[in-house]
Amino acid sequence: MEITIKTDVLATNEQLAQQNKKIFREAGVTAINIMGSPGAGKTTLLERTLERLQGLLKAGVIEGDIYTAKDAERIEAHGVPVVQINTGGACHLDAQMVQKVLPDFKLEQLDLMIIENVGNLVCPVEFNLGEEHKVTVLSIIEGDDKPLKYPLIFKESTAVVLNKVDLLDFCDVNMDNLKRDILSINPDIKIFEISSRLQTGLDAWIKWLLSISKPVS
């Protein structure tokens, strides 16, 4: 009974996600869905990313949070069009929430739409939003046991950012094991090792974003 209900919810979401995907593609916008635990560093990564993308491509941002507009305010300071979605308790964004805010953007003027999901390593991955790529941000300080404990999000992601690598000396994380486990779940995933705080490792990440941000045919 519960499974049937969940299937219905996911089927409806998938329909709306496909509509969103069509809207993004027709406007020539590549959408990415950035997921990760609370405090993985998604918004800070986004800030450093937007600074570096300036003059290279035009990005818009959808900020998902349960409450507050703190993240949208941080993004707005970078002069990028941003809309905050507050889920009001829900633990993930869904395609309907995203569809509702699309008219707030001039999509035909954008190349890239970055959707920052609610901080949660579990639920967001089950709800497609119409994105071309899912990206997981994992703060290495969360521990190298996380991929095997939360495999689905790594399986579904095109890329993973291993963030806060400047803290490697202050935790008991084995980077080789971490990367091995991620690749065992998803051999095709792209792995970026970044410190958003010290601004290291961003070049490869930016290069990848540019490579995926050509209008999709």
200 lies in the site for a copy of itself, by CB under 8 A: no
Q: How many residues at the interface with a copy of itself, by CB under 8 A? A: 37
**Shortest spacing between CB 89 and a copy of itself, in angstroms:** 7
Environment class of 74 (CB within 10 Å of its CB; exposed 0-12, middle 13-18, buried 19+): middle
User: Can you tell me the distance from the alpha carbon of 171 to that of 168, in angstroms, rounded to the nearest whole number?
Assistant: 6
77 lies in the site for a copy of itself, by CB under 8 A: no
Beta bridge pairs of residue 176? none
Neighbours of 15 (CB within 10 A): 12
134 lies in the site for a copy of itself, by CB under 8 A: no
The stretch near a copy of itself (CB under 8 A) out of 25-33, 54-62, 118-126, 127-135 is 118-126
Residue 191 per-residue DSSP state: E
Token pair 């990367």 is found at 179
Token output for 67: 């409450």
37 lies in the site for a copy of itself, by CB under 8 A: yes
The binder of a copy of itself chosen from 70, 100, 106, 207 (CB under 8 A) = 70
143 lies in the site for a copy of itself, by CB under 8 A: yes
The stretch near a copy of itself (CB under 8 A) out of 22-30, 36-44, 95-103, 200-208 is 36-44
The stretch near a copy of itself (CB under 8 A) out of 13-21, 67-75, 99-107, 109-117 is 67-75
81 lies in the site for a copy of itself, by CB under 8 A: no
User: Can you tell me the distance from the alpha carbon of 142 to that of 153, in angstroms, rounded to the nearest whole number?
Assistant: 15
28 lies in the site for a copy of itself, by CB under 8 A: no
HSE of 214, CA atoms in CB hemisphere, 13 A: 4
Structural element, H or E, at residue 65: strand 59-65
Token output for 54: 């300036």
Binding residues for a copy of itself, rule: CB under 8 A, are: 2, 5, 9, 37-39, 65-68, 70, 89, 91, 118-123, 139, 141-143, 145-146, 148-152, 164, 166-167, 170-172, 197
